[in-house]
Structure 1
Amino acid sequence: DLPRTFPGHPWLDTPEGHASLRRVLVGYSFRDSDVGYCQGLNYVAALLLLVMKTEEDAFWMLAVLLENVLVNDCYSNNLSGCHVEQRVFKDLLKKKCPSVYAHLEALEFDVSLVATEWFLCLFSKSLPSETTLRVWDVLFYEGAKVLLNMALAIFKMKEEELLMANHVGDVINIIQNTTHHLFDPDELLIVAFDKLGFMSTNISKERKKQEPAVMAELDQRLRRLNSSNLDENS
């Protein structure tokens, strides 16, 4: 994944940059073998390297993020924490943007098509770096619920366009075009914290509510995979 992390960057996309990023990621995999390495962490660690300047500082900031800020099991083998966040986000979208939610449901659009990358890369692969860093400022201060605020804000900002979308591909194009051109972080933050109104939902309670369904779904997937492997080997 190293060469695919911010390709074309004058330092990161060099042998020196790749080696530095590899050391941070390998170092953390030794610190937490349960997480090891998960796709998405390369973008997070890379941006931390650019901001913190030293590998040691980037390493410890990565540790703080994974161990104190983000939800548990977000980067586990089955990504259960990420799946929980997507379910919570879907419920919040239904409450905060009911018209958009209903329209996307009619199109059979799955929020995971965009939200997986957002929650694993912490928007570092989707938003311009200046905007991402403003989001991270709030993330470190407010906690992981901020990622849900930002995700909701992106859909809210393009509510009218999304309601006119006729296909899943249209939705993805609208969302990606929006995130890639969000150069003004204030535009996003104002929607996330002012225009969306008070987030009355107890996020921690909602996560616990979603966990059993997520674990059951992941267990079912694993059973199907094991059954398929047995059939192939028999």
Structure 2
Amino acid sequence: MTDTPDATPDRRPGGRTARVRAQVLDAVRAELAEHGHEGLTMEGVATRAGVHRATVYRRWRDVGGLLVDVIDAAGEIDWQPPDTGSLRGDLTALNQEIQQSLVERPSFAVALMAASFHSAPAARAQTRLWTDRYAQCEVLVERAVERGELPAGRPTDARSLLIAATAPLYHELVLLRAERDPRLPERAARAAVLAAAAGAFSDAGS
């Protein structure tokens, strides 16, 4: 894949421009999920989108540009962290979302992760997206402190807790390619909550 600068088309264009962008990005998601990054081509995306390939080349330049924009588009979705009334419930719900995205076939999430290893701009865009998602999810820890589930006098590193809670999903489903375990989202959440309550993710140190 050819890398491009991190510049992307206008993030919220209107009218025909918005329709073309939506068609092309939908095509990128479908092509990437079905054929992986190896099979993602400008021509294939243009054909699936029903858009002249010159338009695709002019707006996105190459496959790297398409990947960056499709990741940026994910960040534009009005996603909100779960709010179940407990930290364990919130993390379980979050893990269930992650698990579903990883086990569906074809999995766009897995294909996009793989593609980011072949495009530096896409990798940077994915890092930006995940950084934003972690920041959004810090509210789960804030609410847990307010409810008394986590110690208020010993601040919890929210990002470390979130990584610990979600990492088992990626380890099992992406690295080990294990079968979906419906108990894993809750089990991983429970372990992370117990560790957090014991001060394992305290900013004050070990």
Q: Normalising by structure 1, what TM-score?
A: 0.27
Specify the structure having the higher radius of gyration (Cα): 2
- Structure with a larger share of its residues in helix: 1
Greater relative contact order: 1 or 2 (C-alpha under 8 angstroms, separation 6 or more)? Answer: 2
